[in-house]
Amino acid sequence: MKQMLLVFLGGGAGSVLRFLISKTFNNSFQPLFLGTFLVNIIGSLLIGLIIGLTLKGNYLTENQALLLATGFCGGFTTFSTFALENQSLLKNGDFLHFTLYTVLSITFGIFAVIGGFWISKSL
């Protein structure tokens, strides 16, 4: 029960922060959905860092990892929103922004996870 509560609390905090970032950046930089892009890249970096520190040992407990990785990052990142935004770009025939948004999000997301692991090794 404690672990479910940790995931719930972390997920709520991540969702609220995602909402604030998306609200701030998505409307200003259309049609690139900069807020969603930033959230996904930051979330990828964070989950790499959190899991890297957890695997390194003596940095994060299992409960802290549940709160931060499963809860916070799970609520914070927005793959379903990313997919919906891409569907919107395709529906509008905006293939250039669809391609740019998809390739950049996936590429930067993967490198952010690698970066998070790399940062955790140097701590």
pTM greater than 0.95: no
Name which of 15, 72, 12, 24 is nearest 47 in CA terms: 72
User: Was 10 annotated as part of a binding site?
Assistant: no
Q: What is the pLDDT of residue 32?
A: 79
User: Was 74 annotated as part of a binding site?
Assistant: yes
The C-alpha angle 25, 111, 51, rounded to 5 degrees, equals 95
Tally the domains of the chain: 1
Q: What is the pLDDT of residues 26-72, one digit of tens each?
A: 887 677 789 999 999 999 999 999 999 999 888 999 999 999 999 99
Q: What is the pLDDT of residue 57?
A: 84
Helix 34-56 crosses helix 79-91 at what angle (to 10 degrees)?
150
The answer to whether residues 98 and 59 touch, using CB atoms and an 8 Å cutoff, is: no
How far is Cα 11 from Cα 1, in angstroms, rounded to an integer?
15
Q: What is the pLDDT of residues 73-120, one digit of tens each?
A: 999 998 888 998 999 999 999 999 999 999 999 999 999 999 999 999
What is the span of the domain harbouring residue 58? 2-122
